[in-house]
């Protein structure tokens, strides 16, 4: 009984026949078994298929295998592997070791931001031992200048 539609699984079979017997064999099969009048379009589907990557240099299809359902999903044993206490201790210790360094970086950034903000208003001249304060900008930005 001839079939008229070529599905994706049929394309995989046709690619195997193409690799073994060539283009003329699948064209004949498409015309006789699938009643395809113009096999060029089926061939184009095969060439554009991601599962059937065509190697033009060697004139054959590299057929991608479908993974088995067991291979795609993790088993219950793999999901429920007990966590080793030493792994938790190692991770916790690494996190604790990196905390002081992270705090030091944060403090430096905050001090740098403060100094950058102060540099808008205050200039230190070490040669003449003078501090220049821009009181106008300070008051415009909402600050008060207090000296003692």
pLDDT for 87 equals 60
Confidence of residue 127 (pLDDT cuts 50, 70, 90): very high
- On whether the CB atoms of residues 39 and 27 are closer than 8 A, the answer is yes
Contacts of residue 61, defined as CB under 8 A and 6 or more positions apart, other chains included, come to 15, 16, 18, 19, 46, 52, 53, 54, 55
Give the domain ranges of the chain: 8-63, 108-148
Give the pLDDT confidence of 53-95 residue by residue, as tens digits: 888 888 888 887 765 666 667 777 777 766 566 666 676 667 6
What count of Cα atoms within 13 Å lies in the side-chain half-sphere of residue 41? 7
- On whether the CB atoms of residues 107 and 98 are closer than 8 A, the answer is no
| Euclidean distance between CA atoms 65 and 6, whole angstroms | 19
Contacts of residue 51, defined as CB under 8 A and 6 or more positions apart, other chains included, come to 8, 11, 12, 63, 64
74 versus 47: the higher-pLDDT residue is 47
pLDDT for 129 equals 92
Q: What is the average per-residue pLDDT within 103-121?
A: 88
At 125 the three-state DSSP class reads strand
Determine how many CB atoms are found less than 10 A away from the CB of residue 92: 10
| Euclidean distance between CA atoms 135 and 139, whole angstroms | 6
1 has a pLDDT exceeding 50: no
Is this prediction's pTM over 0.75? no
Q: What is the average per-residue pLDDT within 107-135?
A: 90
Pairing of strands 60-63, 130-133: unpaired
CA 117 to chain centre: 39
The percentage of residues in the chain with a pLDDT greater than 70, rounded to a whole number, is 81
């Amino acid at each position: 009984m001839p079939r008229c539609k070529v599905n994706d699984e049929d394309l995989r079979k046709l690619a195997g026949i193409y690799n073994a017997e060539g283009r003329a064999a699948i064209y004949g099969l498409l015309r006789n078994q699938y009643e395809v009048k113009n096999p060029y379009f089926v061939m184009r589907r095969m060439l554009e298929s991601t599962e059937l990557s065509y190697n033009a240099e060697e004139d054959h299809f590299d057929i991608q295998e479908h993974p088995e359902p067991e291979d795609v999903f993790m088993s219950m044993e793999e999901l429920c592997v007990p966590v080793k206490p030493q792994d938790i201790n190692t991770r916790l210790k690494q996190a604790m070791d990196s905390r002081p360094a992270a705090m030091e970086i944060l403090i430096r950034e905050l001090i740098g931001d403060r100094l950058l903000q102060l540099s808008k208003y205050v200039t230190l001249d070490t040669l003449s031992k003078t501090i220049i304060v821009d009181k106008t900008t300070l008051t415009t930005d909402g600050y008060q200048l207090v000296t003692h």
